[in-house]
Copies of this chain bind each other. A is one copy, B any other.
């Protein structure tokens, strides 16, 4: 929240997040020169870039530097009031232990229900709802990606125009399926990820599988009988697995494979084309939250607005996921306290401990997370980044925890454990069943997904203006004082309903920009 509303755009502006904070960040575009008089009365001793911290008091060597009311590090030297507090002046605190955490102690009051909000969605036989009507081509193994891509181009050119109620055809290419230690304990993660992506609600329960034949990830292993989508939920009837195997002796010559894939696609397109949107409650939204290319404003503007929107969604009965284990690790005590039960808190701690051990196997720790861009954007270390990141989760009780690649089955606010890598997190949230994606960015990224609309929220107005046809929401207005967190939270909530209904397209959809599916495979390759 801005400390003082700006009198004019060039007046020095700073943002302090908590009354206990002994640093504030510079809000002005382009930063502030030395000698600037801050609203808090200090005179800047250094030039401080936008988003970077300035000391509000004299800090002795070893003193805790407080932001969000908590220590983000300790001063490595005496720092005079008005000085730039950059990463080289801060000692990273050790990771907080995973013992003796407050477990479900906060007991947040249940949020008041929010009723009457709906969107137009595609209802699936299993009860889930799609926001788009897409034919997905599941692939058991990377070997078939080239052939599938060839067929995809022909499907898009020759078939898709005949089926106007189908939004798109998407090839679910990936790097897994063979040349991997498929029986390693951790192989369950990539396998269930691929399975659950195929079952994403935006694919309407139409499973079309291309297999090579000799691969380790055989179709029946990817999609065992029990996982198949239902044709009719009441009857419990599932569709048989529709697999086209390139090594099938029936295929003589390349074009025989391609023609067979086109025939296979046509059948699924015909069924998808009969579907129509219907009015469904906002509780059918499954929203994945993520941030990427974060800066110091992420935790000041965009993420708090997303947090407010997250509370609106939870109040409306929807499902909301926040993720990125290394970016919540340093805020774990806040989160375990907010868990609805000690069991939920314990599951969250288990996911943190698993990731700690995973990183340790590679001889690194959670400090491997921050990027050069984070630091240029004012985030000194992973503690500061994490505190700004978890703000996305709003204030609701955390009622669920999901392992990487698992399918979400509960409403309310869930911690979906994933790496913080944008593409891996997005891929895992797709597997969880997300039908809408919110992505905040401070440095700017053109991120998109082929299967689910991605709504991008800029943390700064300068970015929103510069990338005017890539950013969907500008939360920079919050730092400028021209909008409140609540204003932007509501704007985002309404945009989610519009995009979910197909009334609006995101910029990533407009340009057809999308990133690759990137699997989280903690097991070895062979």
Contacts and interface: CB of A to CB of B under 8 A. Distances in A.
A363 B145 CA distance: 29
Interface stretch (A71-79, A249-257, A279-287, A392-400): A249-257
A409 interface: no
B214 A443 contact: yes
B424 A361 contact: no
A211 to B, nearest CB: 11
Contacts of A81: none
Majority DSSP secondary structure for residues of A touching B: loop
A455 to B, nearest CB: 16
A361 B215 CA distance: 24
Given A249-B466, A469-B254, A512-B150, A524 B364 contact: yes
A247 interface: yes
Given A142-B515, A254-B511, A363 B185 contact: yes
Nearest to A251: B466
A523 B362 contact: yes
A212 B526 contact: no
Interface in A179-215: 179-186, 212-215
Interface of A: 142-147, 150, 173, 175, 178-186, 212-216, 218, 246-247, 249, 251-255, 292-293, 326, 358-359, 361-364, 366, 368-369, 371-374, 376-377, 419-425, 443-448, 465-470, 507-508, 511-516, 518, 520, 522-526
B520 A525 contact: yes
Contacts of A421: 178-180, 525-526
A113 B424 CA distance: 51
A427 to B, nearest CB: 10
B368 A526 contact: yes
Contacts of A218: 372
A419 B175 CA distance: 13
B178 A422 contact: yes
State the oligomeric state as a number of copies.
2
A100 B218 CA distance: 40
Given A146-B515, A293-B214, A361-B524, A252 B186 contact: no
Given A249-B466, A525-B520, A143 B422 contact: yes
B444 A247 contact: yes
Contacts of A516: 142, 145, 173, 175, 516
A358 B180 CA distance: 13
Given A212-B444, A218-B372, 7 more contacts: A150-B513, A183-B368, A214-B376, A246-B446, A252-B466, A255-B469, A520-B525
Contacts of A216: 371-372
Given A144-B446, A147-B513, A443-B214, A524 B359 contact: yes
Contacts of A423: 142-143, 175, 179
B513 A146 contact: yes
Nearest to A246: B446
A190 to B, nearest CB: 12
A364 B374 CA distance: 37
B181 A525 contact: no
13 contacts: A179-B421, A180-B421, A181-B368, A183-B364, A212-B443, A213-B443, A214-B376, A214-B443, A362-B522, A368-B524, A421-B526, A516-B516, A522-B524
